Every structure is written in C-alpha cells, then in structure tokens.
Structure 1
C-alpha cells in the first residue's frame, strides 16, 4: 500500500534527519511510529479497563500467594 502525506519542508527535513540519525528509512520510521502509537493507545485502554474492574473488586494477591495457588512452590 502506498500512502501520501503532506508535510511542510521543515517537517520533512526533521523526519529525514531523525531517520538518518536512527539509521533507518523514513518509511520504517513512520511505520514503527504509527504502530507504536496504536499499541500505546490499546495498552492505555486495557489499563483503564483493568483499573475499573479492580475498583469494583479490589482484591490483590502477592507473588507468593499466586505461586501457591498455581502449585509452583
């Protein structure tokens, strides 16, 4: 797939220089950045969901308790 992106000359130079500094291509830099942004948003939403569930039922277990429950000791 080919995408088109409008950037100012200043933005273009910034991205090209950053990619060069990171020893990667502009395409790879943009691809990685977008994927990372999506993953970060997904992780944040999962965190918010887990915290809401924890507030409804604030039960926690220590590492030792979990190991005992799973017969890992």
Structure 2
C-alpha cells in the first residue's frame, strides 16, 4: 500500500535528516515512526486496563512466587 503526505519544507528537511542519520529511506523512516507510535499507544492502553483492573480488585496484589508457581516458572 502506498500513500502520500504533505509536509512543510521544514518538516521535510527534518524527516530527511533523520532518515539520513539512520541510514534508511524516507519511507522506512515514516514507517518505523508510525509503527513505533502505534506500539507505544497500544502499550499505554494495555497498562491502563491492567491498572484499572488492579484498582477495581481493591488494589490487591500477591507475592511474585505465587505467580511463578501458577505459570510453572
């Protein structure tokens, strides 16, 4: 899939400089940045859900050894 975006001259120069520093194409630089952002937001969402579950359970925790036994680690 291909797409195009409009950049100001300043944005283009910054993106090109970054790609050059990383020794990657401009397209690869945008692709990496996009998927890094997606992963970061996904991680934040999962962490928030886990924290909300922890709070709704009364902020109860248990020793890590119990979890290891449960996971057979």
TM range (shorter): 0.7 to 0.9
SS of the counterpart of 2:54?
helix
Query: What is the aligned partner in structure 1 of residue 9 from structure 2?
Result: 9
Q: Distance in 2 between matches of 1:70 and 1:59?
A: 19
Aligned pair count reads: 72
Offset of 1:19 from its aligned partner?
Answer: 0.6
SS of the counterpart of 2:17?
helix
Offset of 1:21 from its aligned partner?
Answer: 0.5
Relative distance call for 1:70 and 1:34 in structure 2 (3 A) is closer
Listed as ranges, the gaps of 5+ residues in structure 2 are: none
Query: What is the aligned partner in structure 1 of residue 23 from structure 2?
Result: 23
Offset of 1:5 from its aligned partner?
Answer: 0.7
With normalisation by structure 2, the TM-score equals 0.83
CA RMSD of aligned residues (A): 1.5
With normalisation by structure 1, the TM-score equals 0.83
